[in-house]
Structure formats: structure tokens, C-alpha cells
Amino acid sequence: MSGADPADTVAMTLDEVRTLSRSVLSGAGLSADHAAAVAETLVSGERDGCGSHGVYRLLVATRSIATGRVSKDAVPVVSEPAQALVRVDGGGGFAQLAFERGKPLLVEKARKFGIAALALNNVVHFAALWPEVEALTEQGLVALAFTPSHAWVAPAGGTEPVFGTNPIAFGWPRPGREPFVFDFATSAVARGEIELHRRAGKPVPDSWGYDADGNPTTDAAAVLSGAMRTFGGHKGSALAAMVELIAGPLIGDMTSKESMAADDGAGGSPLGGELVLAIDPAGFLGAGVAEHLTRAEAMFEAIETQGARLPGSRRYAARRRSLVEGVRVPASLHADLMALAQGGKA
């Protein structure tokens, strides 16, 4: 939480973040395997300076569990619908454990065939995608990930929700240094960011969304009950539609409107699917892979030498700090989480 007043925050080590996260999740009834997998995603968000994807999401996760819409002890089932395809039925549990169980076979197939795909079905998703693509870049693979959510976002030119926030994540391995990874919603902003503004009583830009009557608004609560906007107008809208298709009907799972209908007002996190693609550069390039990865480095250098920032660089800078200094969590949020860990309600 860079820039936060220390008096309004609580200092935590990353191990303390991990312990607190597991405690809250286990206390909510998650099995040990699910609690550990979900906690690592939250630690990653906090570690990388992304508060809307850090321990704040424990409130989201526990609220979803309380609705009864999340299977607390689902055992993911891995199958192979085709030679280069992996499918994991998450059984209605959180997506993190399903990804963990499918990743080894996805990596194996990508190395064998050059390219492979992983479909996660029937999973609950509430977190960032970058930890998943980064885990694949650590294996020397190029990765893409897509998932819909609930219908919270209006298409460009409209004011009624059709799309989810529909993030897209991409990872490119860079031998000897941090990978090039970006992860962004196709909405104007992450929904969690609007929720953080609501908790803090702060207005939001009127470009972020509409109220329930379709009017632009700076009231965070009004946007949350109305509709968010796509980023970049019609371009973000087109990308959001693409995510709906390739991570919904293409893999036999829900669109964002169908996920919202299945929730039936319970207020749980999105239930549906995720598509992950993994590409082995050596599968295309063979012995020339090192040479061509070096050519890619020339592009990164051309960006940075003119003072432009590579996407993901802010996260890596935050990571380097937090690995040494730990993180600072808003005191009010910390109090809510401690209450949850002790069996109370936030």
C-alpha cells in the first residue's frame, strides 16, 4: 500500500499474510489444499503491491463461501479430451487448486507438442490471473489466460451489464530475469478497485461506470449496483466479447450473464471456466530458440531506454520491496480480517 499513512496501516511480513490468509480460509471451511492454493494467490497480490487483489479478497472469498455457492472440499478431476488438451473439472471449488492440478500435464503437453491448452471448468474465480501465467513462464513457456466473471460490465454504447470484467493475462519468459507479464481487466478498472473506493468512502471517476438508471456517476456504490464500463470503448468491448466466447461456450462453460443467473442474487463470486494456453518457444524454433529470445530482448530494451515503462514493472518493484520490508495493510481491513480469523464476521 505505497503512499498510505503508516498510522492507518498495519505492518505484516509475507509469512504473516500467508498465515492469516490460510487461517481465515480454513476457518470459513475450506479444505487444507484449497486454503493453501487460494492463500498463495492473495500473498502474490499483496506482495506485488496490488491491494485490490491481495488480502482484501479474503472478504470476497469468505462471502462467496458463506453463500453456499463454493464447494469447500472439491477434488479437481483432470482429463485429456485430446492429445494437446487438458481439462480439469473443478467441482465447484475455487480455481486455484484446479489450476495447480492441471498445470503439470499442461506443461508436459506444451513441451511435447509445442502448444497446448488447459480448460478449467466449473470453478469459482475471484482473483488475478497473473500468478498462473507467471507460473508457466517459470517453466520457459509463453502463456495466455482468459476468464469471464459475472455480468457487471456494459458493452460500449450500452448501459446494461452483459460482460464480466473478463481479464486477459499474458506471460513471456525472459531467461535470467523477471518475465514479461501483464494482466488486465477488459473493464475500465478492476471491480475490486471500485469496492476499495466504496470501503474508503472515496468517489470514483465518472468514466468507470453507470448507476442503475444508466447515468454516469462518481458514487462507487452506485457503479457496483449499476454497470461498469469497458476500457478503450469499443476496443475493450470487443476483447470482452472474445473472452466470453473462448472461455465460455468454446470450453463448454458459462458466459458472464449465465454465471450471474446461476448466482441468483446470492452475491457469490463468478462460477464458470478459464482457458489457459501454453506455448513452448522451442517447439517452433528448435535450436534457434535462444537467438530469437535475444531478439525479443531488443524490443524490451527499445521500450525502456526511451523512459517508457514495461507492463508489470511496477509489480516487480513492489515485490522487491515487500520481500525485504513486508507490506502494510489498511488498519480497518486488518481488523476485519482478524475478526474473521477469530470466527467473527467482517
Could you say which of 46, 134, 193, 258 is catalytic?
A: 193
- 149/274 Cα distance (integer angstroms): 10
CB 218 within 8 A of CB 239: no
Catalytic annotation present for 53: yes
Interatomic CA distance for residues 5 and 224, integer angstroms: 27
**Could you tell me if 278 and 141 are in contact, meaning their C-beta atoms sit under 8 angstroms apart?**
yes
Question: Of 76, 83, 25, 26, nearest to 55 (Cα)?
Answer: 25
| Residues 34, 26 contacting (CB under 8 angstroms) | no
Q: Print burial letters for 10-21: b (CB count within 10 Å at least 16), e (below 16).
A: bebebeebbebb
Which of 53, 125, 150, 197 is catalytic? The answer is 53
Which among 23, 52, 269, 322 is annotated as catalytic?
Answer: 52
Apex 167 CA angle, 175 and 34, nearest 5: 80
71 belongs to the catalytic site: no
Look up 52 and say whether it is catalytic: yes
Residues 271-299: b if buried by 16+ CB within 10 A, e if exposed? bbbbbbbbbbbbbeeeeebeeebeeeeee
CA–CA gap between residue 339 and residue 346 (Å, rounded): 6
Element housing 246 (H / E): helix 234-246
Determine contact, residues 333/195, Cβ cutoff 8 Å: no
Residues serving a catalytic function are 52-53, 193
